[in-house]
Chains A and B, each alone.
Chain A
Amino acid sequence: MEGAVVLLDFWPSMFGMRTRIALAEKGIKYEYKEEDLRNKSELLLQMNPVHKKIPVLIHNGKPVCESLIQVQYIDEVWNDRAPLLPSDPYKRAIARFWADFIDKKIYDQGSKVWKTKGEEQETAKKEFIESLKLLEGELGDKAYFGGENLGFVDVALVPFYSWFYAYEKCGNFSIEAECPKLIAWAMRCMQKESVAKSLPDREKIYEFILHMKKIFGIE
């Protein structure tokens, strides 16, 4: 179980944040290595030759790639504390379904909100809110998607909360007005040290997006 844990990451990455949260929930000590994505390290290229992307979790010298796979790996190796996936196979399938939904919809739709303008942006905003509302429906009256404690879906989704402020500024809308339950859930998650310590400051994310817009030549 023990052994060196290294995380190759990039501070604004929601995907990296997932792994940070999972490691923190389990109380695992690890070395955090910030990657410059315009100048990827030898280690990154060696550990993730197929996709060359972060995050990469390196445990005892062996790489695990893809954030949701990393979270499941962490849950399975350190299975004596803070379980993230439920033990019931059907509930596990449901948790995986919503994590997959988040991967398929939230990232791309959110990206369109800050990368586009005009009609395209309006459509993106609408679709983004629709997806968040579906997630609110799944949350229901529970404190967390995982029930009484943080679970797989909470870990998969909450990193996007650090980007909400930037989306709102770029899209000129309020996510809280549309999805108050989800914002309440996010703030509940932020009360947890594992989450609060893993998410960057929302102003910093907004600054980062403004910088990206300049580079991409988006107004």
Chain B
Amino acid sequence: MENEEVILLDLWASPFGMRAKIALALKGINYEHRDEDLSNKSDLLLKTNPVHKKIPVLIHNGKPICESLIIVEYIDEIWPHKFPLLPLDPYQRASARFWADFVDKKIYGARNRKIRTAKGEEQEAAKEELIENLKLLEGELGNKAYFGGEHLGYVDVVLVPIYSWFYTNEKFGNFSFETECPKLIAWAKRCFEQESVCKSLPDQDKIYQHALQLMKRSGYE
């Protein structure tokens, strides 16, 4: 596949963008990374994602693909030979898509922001809910090295960006993920050993500083 032009419109702190970065890195795809200023969105972003105006947007030979899960599946289908992310079996694919959807609904959902933005009972409830959902994921992981089995797969790529936000949520929520979900932390560290993953995830402390700034701007304590 010569003369491929691949551009990723992204934001360094976005876990959704990280998914695309990891998938591209695993497949060894050369691409141009462009960080967007969400308070001043580029013409290219507005043109390539007119419906949602959000990042990430993958632009492949001039054609845009939006929504991180769709981007990851697209990358897997265009470059199927290196590091396949989705299994071949339809039932296993359905299962992988189910858990990716679960991650989007329950782990990255808006309610989890309450761990940072809410206080007291509301914050406690948000924490409990997140931990419950992470435990469900631990159950799905079972004794496997990765959700994808012996190698990183679709669900691993979809979930692992939260690792860079763990520290932030722990500081705000005053708890320890390692105590509550040790298997998941072990899994995340295992993923981190892959260069494609650790190169695509920003430093946990940088994320914390970023979250503090966002909170200040939004007027939270």
Contacts and interface: CB of A to CB of B under 8 A. Distances in A.
Contacts of A72: 93-94, 97
Interface of A is mostly: helix
Given A50-B102, A97-B67, A89 B94 contact: no
Contacts of B94: 64, 69-70, 72-73
Interface residues of A, number: 21
Interface stretch (B25-33, B72-80, B112-120, B167-175): B72-80
B73 A64 contact: no
Interface residues of B, number: 21
B77 A89 contact: yes
B101 interface: yes
B136 A97 contact: no
Interface string A70-109: 1011001100000000000110110011001100000000
Nearest to A62: B91
A72 B60 CA distance: 24
B46 interface: no
B136 A50 contact: yes
Given A69-B94, A72-B94, A73-B90, A93 B73 contact: yes
Contacts of A66: 97-98, 101
Contact of A90 (B63, B90, B97, B98): B63
Interface in B63-104: 63, 65-67, 70-71, 73-74, 77-78, 90-91, 93-94, 97-98, 101-102
Contacts of A24: none
A65 interface: yes
Interface string A46-70: 0000100000000100101110011
B51 interface: yes
B39 to A, nearest CB: 23
Contacts of A134: 51
A89 B91 contact: no
B221 to A, nearest CB: 30
B79 to A, nearest CB: 10
A59 B91 CA distance: 9
A135 to B, nearest CB: 10
A178 to B, nearest CB: 19
B97 to A, nearest CB: 5
B48 to A, nearest CB: 12
Interface of A: 50, 59, 62, 64-66, 69-70, 72-73, 76-77, 89-90, 92-93, 96-97, 100-101, 134
Interface of B: 51, 60, 63, 65-67, 70-71, 73-74, 77-78, 90-91, 93-94, 97-98, 101-102, 136
